[in-house]
Amino acid sequence: MQNKLKELKTRLMEIDDLRGAAALLYWDQATYMPPEGAEARGRQMATLERLAHEKFTDAAVGTLLDQLRPHEEGLPYEHPEAALIRVTRRQYEREVKVPPAFTAELSRHLTSSYEAWVKARPANDFSLVQPCLEKTLELSRRLADFFPGYEHIADPLITYEDEGMKASILRTLFAELREQLVPIVEAITSQPPADDAFLRQHYPEARQLAVGREVVERMGYEFSRGRRDKTPHPFMTKFSLGDVRITTRVEENYLAESLYGAMHEAGHALYEQGINRDFEATPLADGCSAGAHEAQSRLWENRVGRSREFCRFLFPRLQEVFPDQLSAVSPDAFYRAINKVERSLVRTAADEVTYNLHVMIRFELELKLLEGSLSIADLPQAWREMYRSDLGIAPQDDRDGVLQDMHWYGATIGGKFQGYTLGNIMGAQFYRSALEAHPDIPEQISRGRFDTLLGWLRENIYQYGNVFTPDELIERVTGGPLNIDPYIAYIAGKYGELYSL
């Protein structure tokens, strides 16, 4: 059995090597590659991904997994070897259903679709992406159809990102959340808005980058196992557990962009850097779902970064670094500015209270497109109508409307947005459990100390990587299932106090 396990691990390591190389090529494309390298780069990445897919779906892997079943069944559920066999089998059974020719067609199409979006967004011209998007929708539906027996055509695409989730569960969950959030948004936006003009002065890039580095290092991000570079669209990527990178976008006319973006991406990176290093180069060395990952990034960005305690620690330092801009600003004014709530058009810049409404609009549009009840041609108008009815504001152009997020242009349509809201909900549940175990965490944060919180997250969540499903993880960490109450209690408490609701 140990020989079979060793053979499986050797195969998985080669697959991981190919995927790590593809990830490095993608990172380079997003950071330093000259523009004319794009075409060859798309081909190079597609070749590596195809080779990885072929190796992973090799019948020999299936045979090994069958032979290892008795070994798995003889071990406790959470034993690393049992988990490795179980998780690999789950991924294998999914990937063998998708023909390699389809994977290659999808990959080629998405490269050209992404290129079309890169041109269409600044040009504010939806017609440049419309034919691509029609093809993407067709390919997304074909991908779903490789997994027959679904309740909703989006379900296979949702499950791929967030195991255990499906359209019907999410529609109910989101309806409950919306019912609770909308009255809070209405009560806040009927008041005069918080003043955040001082965040929109000139903040030199070098000093913004320096202070961002200080913050993520304090959070526990290890530069000996990572690095940070600039990109137009921030992300986190990993080539191995010893090389987990983040990227950041700096706006010299807006202080919050790079600071909170860095905390967000570092939150993703802390999860990956915290995975048990024995899992290196296996399917266990990964976060357990899109939602579980966003739970970490949004916990660090919002629960920590936008808290009063964190502001107490950070603001005096910011005043030292930016005396001309901030010496006349009070800590309370800073706290209010970074928690400004408004009806806005752009998801990534949205506040905590309205953020989920942005996500729900995209989720509902994805379902309608896949169902066939909405056409791509009608998508920009449907976007505007949903923004008007749900957020009371509609974009003047498609750049701030249907063209704003890269998701539908660089990937399939379906399953790409629910993870953000699931992350908010899960993050609130996790943070409540952390506070129950260590009530002094907020006091530590006010002194710029994050080791107790990070230690708790590593011990209870990060180290396990992909060992558990999201449902199992929530149950283990919080003692119950996914539940919106801690999130609603947090939003109602924090913003009730801020806006005297």
Q: Is 237 in the site for Zn ion (CB under 5 A)?
A: no
Binding span for Zn ion by CB under 5 A among 17-25, 37-45, 290-298, 368-376: 290-298
Q: Is 289 in the site for Zn ion (CB under 5 A)?
A: no
3-state SS, residue 229 = strand
The CB-of-153 to Zn ion minimum distance in angstroms stands at 26
- Locate 173 and state its tokens: 């969950």
Q: Which of residues 60-119 bind Zn ion (CB under 5 A)?
A: none
Sheet of 243-248, strands arranged across: 228-230, 243-248, 236-240
Nearest residue (CB) to Zn ion, 261 versus 465: 261
Nearest residue (CB) to Zn ion, 31 versus 112: 31
3-state SS, residue 165 = coil
Binding span for Zn ion by CB under 5 A among 48-56, 90-98, 223-231, 297-305: 297-305
Residue 475 appears among annotated catalytic residues? no
Q: Is 297 in the site for Zn ion (CB under 5 A)?
A: yes
Nearest residue (CB) to Zn ion, 86 versus 347: 347
DSSP 240-268: ETTEEEEEE---TT-HHHHHHHHHHHHHH
What separation in angstroms does the CA of 81 have from each of 72, 75, 84, 87, 88? 7, 8, 5, 10, 11
- Locate 371 and state its tokens: 């169902």
Binding span for Zn ion by CB under 5 A among 58-66, 161-169, 291-299, 402-410: 291-299
- Which residue sits closest to Zn ion, CB atoms considered? 297
> Are residues 466 and 287 in contact, defined by beta-carbon separation less than 8 angstroms?
yes
Nearest residue (CB) to Zn ion, 297 versus 404: 297
**Alpha helices by DSSP H, 163-307:** 167-189, 205-219, 255-273, 290-298
In degrees, rounded to 5, the angle at the alpha carbon of residue 30 between the alpha carbons of residues 29 and 32 is 70
Nearest residue (CB) to Zn ion, 271 versus 335: 271
Chain centroid to CA 382? 25
CA atoms within 13 A on the CB side of 63: 6
Taking residues 247 to 286 in sequence order and writing x for each that binds Zn ion by CB under 5 A, - otherwise, the string is ----------------------------------------
Q: How many residues bind Zn ion (CB under 5 A)?
A: 1
The CB-of-416 to Zn ion minimum distance in angstroms stands at 12
The CB-of-136 to Zn ion minimum distance in angstroms stands at 22
- The binding site for Zn ion (CB under 5 A) comprises 297
- Catalytically active residues are 265
